[in-house]
Structure 1
Amino acid sequence: MRILTYPHDLALGGSQLNAIELSAALRDRGHEVVVYGRPGALVDTVRSLGLEFLTAPDPGRRPSPRVARDLAGLVRERRIDVLHGYEWPPGLECNLAGRLSGALSMTTVMSMSVAPFLPRSMPVVVGTEQIADAERRAGRHRVRVLEPPVDVVANQPDDALGRDFRVRQGIGDDFTVVCVSRLAHQLKLEGILTAIDAVGRLAAAAPVRLVVVGDGPARAEVERRADLVNVRTGRPVVVLPGAIDDPRPAYAAADVVLGMGGSALRAAAFGKPLVVQGEGGFFRLLTPESLPDFLWTGWYGYGGADRPPVDLLADLLAGLAVDESRRRDLGRFSRAVVEQRFALTEAAARQEAIYDAALRERRRGADRAWTTLAADGAAAGRFADYHLRRCLARLRGRRAADDFNAQPLARRVDGSGERRPEPGRDGAALLYFAGAPWSAVTGTDKHLAGELARTRDVIWIDPPMSWRARRRRGLQVPLVTEPIPGLVRVSTSCVPGVSRPVLRRLTRLHADLDARRVVRDRGVAIAGVVVSDPEQRFPRWVDAPRVYFETDDFVAGAELLGRSAGYARACRRRNVADCDVVVAVTQDLVDVLAAGRRPGLVLPNGTDAEHYGDVARIVAAPEVLLAGPIAGVVGQLNERLDLGSLDAVAATGASLLLVGPRYEECPETRARLDALIARPNVQWIDRQPFERLPEFMAALAVGLTPYAVTDFNRASFPLKTLEYLAAGRPAVSTDLPAARALETDLVELVTTPQEFASRTLALLSAPPDEALVARRQAFARQHSWAERARRLEQIVALAGSGPGTDREGDR
């Protein structure tokens, strides 16, 4: 046979390597094989294997008529029998070229689900039995399975290669976990960050390393998390060598490999214990018991654990670290699995048989003109729908996402092929209309939802944002994403003018419809609805307990938030009337909201005590240039602050650090902030990711909560006070009801700027007191977000038990 292999690109990647290695193996079986595509890093691999490389024209939009015509010309010129595209763009171009030239065209899909617009008359090869089963159920009968092949000669145990890699990376004899992966947000990032945290936890008690080989768009997030762990442990526990053209030395150096897909199988070929990484907290060891599941679903999984992913992976790795005998046994089993089932020579024979069968079907008339024309027409319609949706997403300010790679089949169906209720570990989810986007500064809603998602799946609805604002702020995200395991984010994009009287109702209706569509498409029940966005109405299509939750006094702060007080009051009145129970962060705000009309409960803000628990061992952020000791504010800078108190602290000459974004609206506030920051003993550092805040807490000797005494602030519960205590830092706060409600002597309450400055100076000059540090951190742990999330779960349950029961249940 004369075969043209067309990988989807020639950058480093598992699908492309499979295509090239199979081509060489087929050539060795006596076939004429050429590789076609745009030049990339793997062209050298193609030529090193003795294969001819043909350069494709620049495709432009995919599928490309220009490429299809070029392929058809090559068929006629070289008498090609089979055009074999890998993934859907080359598959569609090969299909069109086959129609023009008469050659057999087929597609291999090594992604984790198949594009619905690949013509069903076209032979398709997939990598797992689960995907093949789903495609047959969907009406695609010409589908076959060829699991990702591995060259077991080029990839085999090599101690010398591994030792050399360890020396070059400075790893020594440490227990080493290796992950070879593209650093991508979809599919990959969640597991990599979990692995960094898990190894960081183990490193406190044992010599362990994590080596992450690869590069990609999520590199910055991976580096930040790795730096945090390395600083905490005081040594390079996480090693990031970047992309390596030949990652075999990294596999050879590993004691355990973490991976999915083709990377997992290559690791197994090196005789290493394999932990298969998926999403939703999925980590599972390859054993004789787990092998049948992986042969069905592929080397990936979704969810299924009833423990936090970091705990699960840390315990799994800890067990392997101390049991060398088990590692040897698992490594031998991994190698045997690859040799017996995934060897490249066997895969080439199966690929040859697939070609022969497809050619025989064609000769028997399986490709009748009218059937192929109908199949092509139906596929064209599905592709037009797909393309239109992507165009609309771009116009509305959403980033286009390839949902065939981003939405694996194993995430959507269970082991029997039935639709998996996702999200919903127990078949029900909490619908949470948030007061701020998921991408905003981490606040009450985000902390609570993140904790809830550990045990209860959450559908998070962003406040709607216009496509123009999204473009201006660089927030082009798809309608549906999964930023953390267990949480689905719905991001509604709409026309400009979302705050105008006529349009604001329509935009909230749009958010309601988007939420309804996601709930319907994912087939989940709703356990309860929380509305924290004061402008959003409760959905009428949900029959579930309704909780109205105010994290601030939105009426008192309407002007600060750029809203009409009258409009804010009307929204509040409507939501209070529609809910089963009202909840707020302070008793003052509960009293305003409930006013005898509805049951009312207090749910104070909490803190992530574990996040700040190691501040004493963390090196302060290098951006901090002030001389110590330093007093500081970590949070948003706006009209809520009592700038008189901050001026008084700065006037003493003490070092004052301000960390957080500036959101002031008033020109007078802007001028005063500018003047404060201009002082030589004051430094301002703009918004920082939540993961880095411990570094800035480490720079502080005293934490400040200088809030002006206003109706808005009297009803608020500042997050920063508890965060200072969680870091073991003393706290000075304006005397506000929320601070008094903590009922602790660990927070200094003051009433005047002069008192604020004098108490701050006294604390800055006080000697370190380890007992006080321990008391502060112990107090903060009593106010964890996990406890607040459990309380919110209880409130939702109480809200469904009938009016009037909430107060009784709270006593």
Structure 2
Amino acid sequence: MPTDMIVFGEDWGRHPSSTQHIMRRMAGDRRIIWVNSLGLRRPRLARRDLLRLAEKAASLLSRRGKPPAGNSDKRQETHPFAQLLNPQALPWPGSRLAAAFNRKSLSRQIGAAMRQYGFERPILWTSLPTALPVVGELGECAVVYYAGDDFGALAGVDHKPVLEAERQLARKADLILAASHEIASRFDPAKTCVVAHGVDYDLFAEPKPRAPDMPDGKVAGFYGSLNGWIDINAIAEAARQLPDWTLVLIGNVETDIMPLHSLPNVMLRPAMPHHDLAQWSQHWDVSLLPFRKNRQIDASNPLKLREYLAAGRPVAATYRFKAIDDLQAPVATPAPGAGLANAILAATSMEEEVREFRQHLAGETWEARAETVSKLIDTIRKGSPSGT
């Protein structure tokens, strides 16, 4: 019988992360207690942080964890786990006082859930270095660290204490699963394996009806948060250079988008449920990856790259960041000295390449990744995994 698991991840249902994709599939044949986010930085006196703190406080008053308020994704209103816990913890990386409090509080809270469901010697999986205080406190048989991000390059992180926690966690982990070879290179190769991201292939490849409010004519589109690592100026310039195209941007606005306000061919749409996105991405002409060139993007592996290609439409990016080369994906980028508009036009001639690559993605599903992870976890008791 597969070993029970305690999983520390992001807030369940807030966004479809790689950890959530994998654990949704693994929950089909093993019992899992999911612990919502412990945080990666100290809260600040900003409106967004105060709203998140209020949301966290409200969730702690419920007996069981629920997806965050305002999440309308029907696929994620329920969870597949034995229990989902809202952690009784202080989000203060680097604080010894917070670490001591979290060790006692989380051990007590999770221990009660383990007793309720009869968990004995589970596997402890964490995607967050801030779970370090409870490692060794839950009677776990093994520790798995899923390194899906380069926390040193990630915005919104207290880098110094989080990286120190990651170093300590990596020493204690029995198995490290890295989302890319670049991330894997930071850890002991004797216990590190690369598990590349998958794709919800059926969701994005099976034909969907065209979104009723999709604009007519030629459309280039993006979905995801409009934040500091999105090149708003590049988008604005492309819209001006392609007046016969509409640029559709789907997602929450978290940065200054003033350059877009006066452009009649830019359409802003609020964030929508993940399962509705294919109604757009299957039917616009070109999908966009309009990122700024920086260390964070160079270290990233955006799930939407595979999702865009599974939807079957050509992809244009502001530049060829490492994840594109790692996947060997057919993605158009600007010619020297040109901008995003040049990449959009170049992408329109790549439909045949995308169709061929789409067939490759059919074997790169999250189900396949979850099966790989299950097999790697099973090796922990049999001996050290083979690094890849």
TM-score interval w.r.t. the shorter chain?
0.7 to 0.9
**From 468, 471, 478, the counterpart of 2:54:** 471
CA distance in 2, matches of 1:440, 1:507: 26
Give the 5 Å matches for 1:693-704: 693-704=277-288
Tell me, yes or no, if the aligned pair for 2:190 and 2:386 is still in contact at 8 Å. Answer: no
TM-score (norm: length of structure 1): 0.41
Matched, 1:660 2:243: no
Give the 5 Å matches for 1:516-665: 516-537=111-132, 538-557=135-154, 560-561=155-156, 563-592=157-186, 594=187, 596=188, 599-615=191-207, 617-622=208-213, 624=214, 626-652=215-241, 653=243, 654-663=245-254
CA distance in 2, matches of 1:507, 1:687: 36
Tell me, yes or no, if the aligned pair for 1:552 and 1:712 is still in contact at 8 Å. Answer: no
Q: From the superposition, tell whether residues 503 and 479 of structure 1 become closer, same or farther in structure 2 (CA, over 3 Å).
A: farther
CA distance in 1, matches of 2:337, 2:58: 39
Identity in percent: 19
Q: CA deviation at 1:540?
A: 2.6
Deviations 1:583-627 (A, max 9, x none): 2211111112x1x47522211111101011234x412153x4x44
Deviations 1:698-733 (A, max 9, x none): 442211122333222222211111001111111123
Tell me, yes or no, if the aligned pair for 1:660 and 1:686 is still in contact at 8 Å. Answer: yes
Q: CA deviation at 1:776?
A: 4.1
Q: Secondary structure at the match of 2:176?
A: strand
Q: From the superposition, tell whether residues 545 and 473 of structure 1 become closer, same or farther in structure 2 (CA, over 3 Å).
A: closer
**Structure 2 equivalent of residue 741 of structure 1:** 326
Q: What is the RMSD of the two structures over their aligned residues, measured on CA atoms?
A: 3.0
Deviations 1:338-357 (A, max 9, x none): xxxxxxxxxxxxxxxxxxxx
CA distance in 1, matches of 2:383, 2:34: 25
Q: CA deviation at 1:517?
A: 1.8
Total equivalences in the alignment: 361
Structure 2 gap ranges (5+): 44-49, 67-77
Query: Partner letter of residue 552 of structure 1?
Result: D
**Structure 1 equivalent of residue 86 of structure 2:** 491
TM-score (norm: length of structure 2): 0.82
Q: From the superposition, tell whether residues 790 and 508 of structure 1 become closer, same or farther in structure 2 (CA, over 3 Å).
A: farther
Tell me, yes or no, if the aligned pair for 2:205 and 2:310 is still in contact at 8 Å. Answer: yes
**Structure 1 equivalent of residue 75 of structure 2:** none
CA distance in 1, matches of 2:380, 2:146: 12
**Structure 1 equivalent of residue 5 of structure 2:** 430
**Structure 1 equivalent of residue 110 of structure 2:** 515
**Structure 1 equivalent of residue 305 of structure 2:** 721
Query: Partner letter of residue 80 of structure 2?
Result: P
Q: CA deviation at 1:481?
A: 4.7
Deviations 1:428-480 (A, max 9, x none): 3222111x200311111111111112233322111147997453589636343
Q: Secondary structure at the match of 1:476?
A: helix
Tell me, yes or no, if the aligned pair for 2:88 and 2:102 is still in contact at 8 Å. Answer: no
**Structure 1 equivalent of residue 18 of structure 2:** 444
Q: CA deviation at 1:503?
A: 5.4
Higher relative contact order (CA 8 A, sep 6+): 2
CA distance in 2, matches of 1:634, 1:455: 32
Deviations 1:294-325 (A, max 9, x none): xxxxxxxxxxxxxxxxxxxxxxxxxxxxxxxx
Tell me, yes or no, if the aligned pair for 1:451 and 1:789 is still in contact at 8 Å. Answer: yes
Matched, 1:792 2:387: no
Q: From the superposition, tell whether residues 511 and 640 of structure 1 become closer, same or farther in structure 2 (CA, over 3 Å).
A: farther
Tell me, yes or no, if the aligned pair for 2:204 and 2:310 is still in contact at 8 Å. Answer: yes
Q: CA deviation at 1:774?
A: 4.2
Farther off after superposition, 452-461 or 469-478: 469-478
**Structure 2 equivalent of residue 762 of structure 1:** 346
CA distance in 1, matches of 2:364, 2:180: 14
Q: Secondary structure at the match of 2:338?
A: helix
CA distance in 2, matches of 1:431, 1:621: 42
Farther off after superposition, 575-584 or 675-684: 675-684
